Structure 1
Amino acid sequence: MNKEAAEAYWKENISLILKLLVVWFAVSYGCGIIFIDELNAITFGGFKLGFWFAQQGAIYVFLVLIFVYAKKMEAIEEKYDIHE
């Protein structure tokens, strides 16, 4: 792999990571702390939605983000021909 392709690969990788971190932050901090009063007006499975996001929802979103990252990185690695 030449230097330009390697730099482009890492630029895409870092960009993807930053986007996923923004989503994770928005869900864990935003839904669990900032918007908790608004979300608590809604119930989900017998619990207030703000409480659910703070306790369980952020974890589920994080797990989904792991799978999204793996799938997107697979496509990026194939694009730059460094896949297994």
Structure 2
Amino acid sequence: MSEKPEPGAYWAANLRIIKVSLVIWAIVPFGFGILLRPLLQGVQIGGVDIGFWVAQQGSILVFLAIIFFYAWRMNKLDREFGVEE
């Protein structure tokens, strides 16, 4: 006998994933690209300091990683709650 999940649990889990993803997405460009840039100036990637690189390229790569993570995690969540396609 399987228990029925409580109403709203699926959406609460979905919103939790979205919130974590948005926080990561905000921290990477603003934190590493702007706020921590003076501390990271000595570290070089591709001939430029890492703060500049994160602001220009790293943010895009993190955003793409978040998209793939979200798709993977939502597929797993859909299976857990029995709402997969």
Q: What is the TM-score when the length of structure 1 is the normalising length?
A: 0.91
What do you get for the CA RMSD once the two structures are aligned? Answer: 1.5
Q: Moved runs in structure 1, 4+ residues, more than 6 A?
A: none
Measured after TM superposition, the shift of residue 4 of structure 1 is 3.2
Give the distance between the partners of 2:61 and 2:42, measured in 1 at CA: 21
Q: For residue 66 of structure 2, what is the aligned residue in structure 1?
A: 65
In the alignment, residue 52 of structure 1 is paired with which amino acid? W
TM-score (norm 2): 0.90
Q: Distance in 2 between matches of 1:3 and 1:49?
A: 45
Structure that is richer in helix per residue: 1
Please state whether the residue corresponding to 2:6 is helix, strand or coil: helix
Q: What fraction of aligned residue pairs are identical, expressed as a percent?
A: 40
1:41 aligned counterpart, secondary structure: coil
Structure 1 counterpart SS, 2:9: helix
Unaligned ranges ≥5, structure 2? none
1:17 matched to 2:13:
no
In structure 2, do the counterparts of structure 1 residues 78 and 3 end up closer, same or farther at CA, with 3 Å as the change threshold?
closer
Give the CA deviation at 1:60: 0.4
CA deviation after TM superposition for structure 1 residue 39, in Å: 1.4
